Structure 1
Amino acid sequence: MTELGHILIVEDDPLIRRVYHDVLANSGYRVSLSASGEEALAYLQLITPDIILLDLGLPGIDGNEVTRQVKADRSKPFIPVMILSAQADLATSVASLDAGADDFLVKPVEIDALLARVRAMLRLQRAQRSLSKAQRKTELLLHLTRDLGATIDLDLLLTRFLDHLADAVGAIRASIILTGFDEEQALYYSSSRKPITPVFPDILRRGVAGWVLREQSPAIIHDTREDDRWYVGTDIHSNVRAVAAMPVQREHNLLGVITLVHHTPGFFTDEHIELLESVAAQSAVAIESAQLFRVSQRQKELLSRRAEELRKINQINAFLSELMQPDQVTRLLVYMIQQQFGYPQVNLFLREGTALVLQASVGSSAHQPSLRLPDDTGLNGWVMQHAQLVRVDDVRSDPRFIPQLPDDLMMRSVLVIPIMLRREVLGTLDVRSPMPAAFGASDEAILSAIVSQLSVALGNARLLEDEQQRVQQLSQVNRLSLAITAQLDAPQNLQIAAEAVAKIFGVANVGMILFTQTDQALIALYGNPSPFDQDLHRLIFALPHAHELAANLHVPQSLLNIAEHPALSLIHNFLHARRIRDLLAVPLRSAQHTIGVLFIDASERPTGFGRADLELATTVASLIVQVIENARLYREVADERSTLNAVLGGAADPILLIGPDQELLLANRAAEERLGLCSETDYGKRLLHVVAPDTPLAHLLPLLNGEHPVGEVAEIVLPDETVYNLSLSAVQGGDDQPLGQVAVLRDISAIKRLERQERERVRSVFRRYVSPQVAEQLLSAGSDFGNPTEREVVVLFADLRGFTSITERTDPQVLIQQILNRYFTAMTEVLYAHDGTIDKFLGDGIIGVFGSPIAHPDDPYRALQASVAMQRTFADLAATWQQQLGMEIGLGIGLSYGRAIVGNIGSIQRQDYTLIGDVVNTASRLSGIARAGQVVLSYHLHDALAPATLAWPLVSLGAIELKGKQEPHQVYEVQYL
């Protein structure tokens, strides 16, 4: 019976690769396929086959180079490499064997001979690997003996020990659990270096390690899915299929258990148990010695730890003594506690109303800030209610513990400290661990000392926050002054002011009423809109004595439970919809008269507004009144200001103010200097009498008669090619009466010259990609050339045949001048003649595009005609090269049709007009398979054509596998000869 094995076939010919696959697969082997050396090397990074069947003549990295890299990789076990070559000469076989090949076969290979060679190589491979395994086991015992005697540091000793043990027996992971070690219940070490998991106690209670410790007997599990002694606690446990475990004993004293695991069922045998028994006996003595050494070290470490804890507490207190914002204090504190003392998770909650809000969290499973918990439930709620710390060694046995955080089910022990300022409980500091009884009295003392300093820091932070809030309010008052001063329209002022006041005092609603001299009112509201806002104006004036009540308000006044006042029943719905209970009414006073009222929502302020807030409100009200008065004065001078702005705007260009009868009313300095005007002598004269022929003003006159619409820009071109932009604007007085027109003339001659230069530059850029006729067509159509767009295109990929070997033996000057330049010139002319575009030149290849930047309905036909014309033109070139240079050069062309992204692509510094898409890759692959003189096209282009109307037949070449394509690709050839 054929011995099963895994064989990797590396062959670039799909047909030969399929033959080898079928032969070996039918013989019972597991077969993997690769089409190139690069692909094979990438495959070997993931999988280790038993044999590599390797073609010598691969594209890219050849078979000998692949062999060298495989043999140079010492991390892999022995893999026989069988070279397949079509060359039977001695030099080729010697070169392959020198590269490290284990066998050399000449194509075509007889099937029986191939299978016999494969069986021989499998025997060699398994013998070599068995020898290596035996050698590693022997070395293991030697290494373990040295490791166990090299140190008495338990961590270093067991780390080396487990590494060598796992490597020698081929286990995925080796681990050891030490029980009853010093004051700790158990210690865990693993060759995988993975940290201990929360399921560790369950492993000792329900897993195979616990069984071995209880029975004091070795165990083998051939398949964990059929043996309930294997406990699956995490994902890494679920992948284990085979287990071997051995107790570690010293004179009937049980020290622990060694466990080996593997992903293959039945991996461990009695031979492994014998090895583990010897290893356990050797390790017991060293572990016991390390145990005694560790006890003495722990006494020294305890003293050092206490000193270090005091140092860390002092360091944290030093940071907390600095004046910071509350959020900065809390984030810094939890971070330092976790970093300094290594608690798995640290949370800090502060009370907000009836909730505890998570301010900061850090650790292995930190939570998002702003998480809200009730302040009367769970362990944190109990601490808030009783104002004393609580420590729970196992939350599963404490009824006060309620899972509230996302990972609470993983936690086993919790320590919560109240944060108190004087007699007020501000919040809690909460540390958690997935291990039972993780915290002790020393943790209580440490955290209590830190929390005491935190309370002081939070008190200082509150003072700082109050001061900063005051500074921020003053800054917002200043911004309010700037904002409403810049917007002098009264209704808009009120709305801006209402929004600014809400931000200054941090309230949800602000209202403002301004009474006018005609017993009307302007109302501005800020806050979430309500359905009753639109009727507020009518309701205000429906209230009895509303105007009189506002006029008698001289100082700020608090209105509590305003929604319950019977006199305000008409606006109860409005107040209820906006959730307004209390208000602060601030009078807007001007010249000892109240002209309006500012209302500030005080519903969310249980203690109301203090004296400083009232003073600030009065200041804001005075500012609003001042700006309102400024707005009134501004309107009185609106006409003068409008005229002045029109004259002074754009002072760098000539500006003229022209009256209704075309008389010159004003000319700025630029107009006088550049247009030859004089305000003193020409003022009041009609422009007709002051302008000279062929000047900008002479061309301006007809436009003033209504030929040019006001507000639009016109161009004036003088005989000397000077160009002016002319804009006319109507000027009206405060009573909306027309005052004339403002004319602004801007010399844009330089801009026009730049535009012409830019147009020539764009023309030259276009001609790099398309024919001159297409370039002119794009320019005249005003195409937005370069913006990436998706469109249907035909990609033509042409590549020389035999050119690589010619470059090795040809002078570079001849290569460029006689061959490449002539070749590229001729092919470009053909493409341009068919309205094609040159995308780029790649070495000896050309990428042509039809359908971009200008698309034609018959682009597929144009591309086909161009490819045939290129082959015929190239045939003349090839004949010339053969005659003059004695060189035989061919041309292969591949065509594909499909969608692509076309446009300028690249960086800010450099961009190329190109295209990206699978259609480009397909054309490249087809060009690669095209022989000299052949035109090959994809089925996409074939389907876009009507073969019956073509001058040449399209013959199917069948479905061919293309690199990068999952499915075979239908290909056609153009028979143009």
Structure 2
Amino acid sequence: MNNSALKQLELETLLEITNTLFIHDNLDDLLHDILIRTCGILDASSGFILIEEKNSDLFVPKASFNLDEKILSKIIFNKKRGFLHSLAERNNTCLHNEKNLLDKLNKSFSLAAAVNGKEKMLGVILIFDKEQRIGISDFSDVDAAMLSAISIQASVAYNNTFLLDSLLEAKRFNDHIMESIQTGVVTTNLFGEIDYISNTAVKILHLSANDCIGNHYQIIFEKDPELIELLEKVDLENRVYSEKNFLIKSGKVTANVNLAISPLLDDQGIQIGSVIALEDISYLDKLKSTFKKYVSKQIVDKILENEDLLNLGGQELTVTTLFSDIRGFTRMSENMLPIDVVKTLNAYFDLMIDVVFKHNGTLDKIIGDELMVIYGAPIHGHDDTKRALLTAIEMQKLLIDFNAARKEMGMSPIEIGIGINRGKTIAGNIGSKEQMNYTVIGDAVNLASRLCSNANAGQILVSEAVVLEVEKYGIFDFEKLQAIMVKGKEKEVQIFSLLKCNCTPRVLAALDLVVSDLLVNLDPKLYYHSISHTLDVFKTCRLIALSEGVSEADMELLQIAALFHDTGFLEKSVGHEEISCQIAQNNLFGLGFNKSQINAICEMIRATKIPQQPTNLLEQIIADADLDYLGRSDFPDIASLLFKELKHKNMSLIEADWDQIQIKFLQSHHYFTQTSLNLRSGLKNKHLQSLINKYS
């Protein structure tokens, strides 16, 4: 074959290789194809291709043909020595018969050519033992020229495919990062078209990626005008906007997210679109709703607000603990099928736990047929003990209707005993790192449990600490019982039976409303006109009214008036009675009182204005209750609080002047109801005489 024919063959071969090699977008496939075609064209019996390892001096086999890969893998190819070093220095010329390599692979002849990048050798094509009819022979110079030409084309194809593969790898890497984070990402281009949406965003928004890509955000989010408005603001103002607990309705299912929208900038700082970041918070709602089926919602909310509560340990808190237990349930269940036992307990617990949560109790645990409920942990309230007592009363009341329904179905009634105590406990997470429970422990908890054990069916036993705590309200009736010995106590424990609450639901609602408002907003320098004074008048009104034979309907109005009578101090002291009337009017319609009842309440409030001028029995009662302390033994203490309050407003007021003010006031004052005249006039006169004697 003459030179022109050889040249023609070389060109045709290179054209075929070029057309074939540039169809690959995968490096492994490309290298395998290069090797197979090279061995075929040059009649090589075997071969392999080396590629440089990233950030290393080593080259490793990436494709091989008709060679023992185990032997090949044991050979170290270092570009700084041996034939690789020699080949890198030869400037695109082939290297013949590398003896050391031939010996290792048990081959006779070899030919090697470099696959070069822009500035360095990236790889090597090596072929062995040319096969001819006469047998194995060495490669000729024509073969070397052909391999050099093939290596040049291979270098171009490799670099192109490597670049494409790198871009694809970078994209895959970025996609993996985007999918590994819980935040969904959506990007738009300069025209407002969505050009990327992560799988996480697809899941959060319940949208199809195919429907989103290429469409304008106004089309995709047409059901969310607020989101569209935020995107438009970002486009116009080139600034970040964020929203918490944002509801997106454009998907198949609504999604609650924390939303952030920011400008997408190029490397010159020019805006080229927008980035929407979506943090899915729907799972928090699911977590809350699921978790709250097992424990009190207060615990769930508190833990979500403060993750430190998940740590083991506790703190000392004064709490009120309630235990309830079904009487004789073990004996009852012996005659029931297991499934009926479960159904009975579930129906009972549904009823009782609703009451617990209604009064903001924390369900600590269910032990068999026993409930343990705590008030004051993890959230402390000013009325923890009152709420515990209201829970107990309502639990016993609900059982009446519950048992009536059971009786109609031929089932035995359920009766419970309840024990309540107040005292210091250790509250917190107790257990192990793997399993912990939020609970309270301590002697006060144990006593509540003991009281429950001693309570008869239908009975609510409470400790003296409970009675003393709620005494300020004057709304509960207790019966003092004989002291008992309980396990863990050396002395007898005084116990009381809770009989009833002497309040209508509307009075209880007003009590919560007024006390909560006063606690938060009342000036702490009102030492006399404080919450204590309001509760004192509230309690005393009832006691006087009972003695005067007031009806239940009038009692309700009187108690409401007592609660609101000093709420005007929330704004100012001068003219506070009229302000109190306005506050009462603003709230009492919502509690179901009519205009006539509200007018009567306001007249009672006005009757407390000094000098008092009541016109009927109810007004006389509240007037006497407002100044009841004048004829009580705690007169000196309460009078000193009023002096302290007035002195804060008038620093020049001295004790002697104050005593004279009191003397004049006591001399001019008189009680109106027969009850107060009988109970308070005598001691009031003694207080007056004592003040007079002080200066005689």
Q: TM-score, structure 2 length as denominator? A: 0.34
Higher relative contact order (CA 8 A, sep 6+): 2
